[in-house]
Chain A
Amino acid sequence: MFFYLIKRIGLSVAVIGLVVLMSFALLHLIPGDPATIALGPRASAETIDRFTEKMHLDEPVWRQFLIFAGNVVTGDLGEDVFSNRPVTQIIGENIGFTLALGAAGLGWAILVGIPLGCLAALRPNSALDRATGILSVGTIAVPSFVIAIWSLLLFAVTLRWLPAIGAGEPGNLPDQLAHLILPAFALGLGWVGYLSRMVRASLLEVMNEDYIRAANAFGLRPGRVIFGYALRVAILPTITLIGLGFGGLISSTVFAEVIFARPGLGKLLYDMVSARNFPVVQGAVLVTTGLYITFVLLSDLIIAWLDPRVRDAL
């Protein structure tokens, strides 16, 4: 386990290193003065001078990279071109909204998807199973932004049940929760299908294994077999899926945040691209990819901890 841990974390660090290298290289691959590119056309001469000095643009490229990487490691992602505020601070103000949205979206999908998958697995090929099957393919295939727009049209514009835009008033929890419902619904719907199918498939596989057959033969109730034993094993691939799917989730939050005019990392990234505010764009890209890598790593580690066989596969 220890060896696996080292190897796995080492790989993640290497990937993060490459991501940092790529975001550094992007600015240097584009023809032109890196300071102007990084700060965008609207930065003042003073800001450019300060940036040139801070990034040591007069030094060799490899040293610049080390300085850049060093800054990233210490949490210094540079400054906003206009307000001169630290990018880290701006991201800090937004990240909570995205994490809340992601957690809510994934959370309701787990609460609905996993029981649905279990029910389907209990009675394979029953009407319920077939309905779940069709429903899940349907929800997986429909792009989240179409769901977001359609639910906006239905629940906010036509029925007026739910608020349409924003994240709600700061400090007003009921208001914030009301604002979370539609985006979280749009974000999680596809996941309901994914999770139920995955749980159903791996449950069915596990149920065929000897010890479960034995448990069944001993006359244990099916519910107890499923929730007591089989699900514990069958949940493993689902955890991988959740970890892997986090990248897709981040992509979907961009749409949900833009469509519902909700603050968050995705909206920040989108707005800052329009404003050509490169230091913030760079920071937001680094943080979202960093988040993604961390989530994949965590899910891999959880799996390895739960299932020794995986450790040898690397």
Chain B
Amino acid sequence: MLSDPSASQPGAGRPRQRSNVRLGQFLGSPKAMLGLTVVILFISSAVFAPVLAPYDPNALDIPSRLSGPTWAHWAGTDQLGRDTFSRLLFGGRVALKIAVIGVSVALSTGLILGMIAGYGPKWLDNLLLLAFDTVLAFPTIVLALATVALVGPSLELVLIIVIVSTVPGYARMARTATLALKNDEFILAERSLGASTPRILAHHVLPNVVGPLLILAAMDVPVVVTIEAGLSFLGLGVLPPTASWGTILNEGYLVINDAPFMVVAAGIPLVLTTLGFTFLGEALRDIFDPRMGRGRA
């Protein structure tokens, strides 16, 4: 965790030419197109879930409980006869919410902390690095379990866990890029002309740092979605009757003998979404920043 694999790479400050070439590369990559399609499908199905869902996700229909896939219920029904397909669509909204809020807050917090660490005094840098490493030392689920033990489960808690555990990744990357730029001639010149630190950071460092961070963000979405689903699976996430992919999976796990189809149906959107974002993130990385590598959080 201290031998940052990206430490020796400049990564930023490259001229912005060839953007058309890159776009062409992106459009030509089957991986990128596949990823993009799934991601668009995911986002639009979550946004338009109220329109797309054939049933109210929380409407009970006890006589038709635990049915397998039928024409009326494409993905079957759960123990209360609720339509699993509709619940999966609405579960996507929870995943999207966590992904959008979690990743954007983590990204901006990480960006700011990373730039401070990279540009600020050495002692502050060391202090922040120690803090990041401490957070990274907690396996995410262990951190979540420990916190839930003290304050009880909620969706807000899931968000906080997601943010806390992903911030160090962004911060480390932003720090490395900032460090590389710090002694760039151009920035030295700006500073000698009397530009303030916030101004230098905002106008010169930020634009160069944000690119790789966005790619990291795309690759973090599946991680975040998985954390939410995993915590909800363990009963540490959303409260009933809210549908989340994790709770549907858990409900299916509990009737795995009686209605095996449910865990299959509940896993599919989760797998597709994580695959889609991973493909997209990888394609972006291959095209824009081939040397960027990253360990598993």
Contacts and interface: CB of A to CB of B under 8 A. Distances in A.
A66 interface: no
A314 B260 CA distance: 52
Contacts of B2: 8, 11, 300, 314
B3 A303 contact: yes
Nearest to A201: B293
B249 A285 contact: no
A270 interface: yes
A250 B142 CA distance: 8
A288 B143 CA distance: 10
A69 to B, nearest CB: 15
Interface string B139-159: 111100110111100000000
B149 A157 contact: no
A140 B278 contact: yes
Given A146-B271, A293-B137, A281 B260 contact: no
- Tell me whether chain B's interface is mostly helix, strand or loop, or mixed: helix
Contact of A289 (B142, B263, B275): B142
Interface string A280-300: 011011001100110010001
Given A140-B278, A237-B5, A244 B145 contact: no
A146 B253 CA distance: 10
Interface stretch (B128-136, B185-193, B194-202): B128-136
Contacts of A15: 130, 133-134, 137
In this complex, which of B1, B7, B257 has the most chain A Cβ atoms within 10 angstroms of its Cβ? B1
Given A137-B279, A142-B274, A149 B253 contact: yes
B139 to A, nearest CB: 4
Interface residues of B, number: 50
Contacts of B149: 272-273, 276, 278, 281
B239 interface: no
Contacts of A178: none
A141 B137 contact: no
Contact of A146 (B136, B140, B249, B293): B249
Interface stretch (B63-71, B207-215, B228-236): B228-236
A285 B144 CA distance: 11
A150 B145 contact: no
Interface stretch (A18-26, A120-128, A168-176, A222-230): A18-26
Interface stretch (A73-81, A105-113, A207-215, A252-260): A252-260
A273 B136 contact: no
Interface in B208-253: 222, 226, 229-230, 233-234, 249, 252-253
A269 interface: yes
Given A150-B264, A158-B260, A288-B142, A143 B7 contact: no
A157 B139 contact: no
B275 A247 contact: no
Given A26-B146, A149-B256, A247-B136, 17 more contacts: A11-B130, A19-B134, A137-B279, A140-B278, A141-B277, A142-B274, A143-B226, A143-B274, A146-B271, A237-B293, A245-B296, A247-B138, A251-B140, A281-B145, A281-B146, A292-B139, A310-B3
28 contacts: A11-B133, A14-B130, A15-B137, A18-B130, A26-B150, A30-B150, A137-B279, A140-B278, A143-B270, A143-B271, A143-B274, A146-B267, A153-B263, A237-B5, A240-B3, A244-B295, A247-B136, A247-B138, A247-B139, A250-B142, A251-B141, A251-B142, A254-B145, A255-B230, A269-B142, A273-B149, A289-B139, A310-B3
Interface of B: 1-3, 5, 7-8, 130-131, 133-134, 136-142, 145-146, 148-151, 222, 226, 229-230, 233-234, 249, 252-253, 256-257, 260, 263-264, 267, 270-271, 274-275, 277-279, 282, 293, 295-297
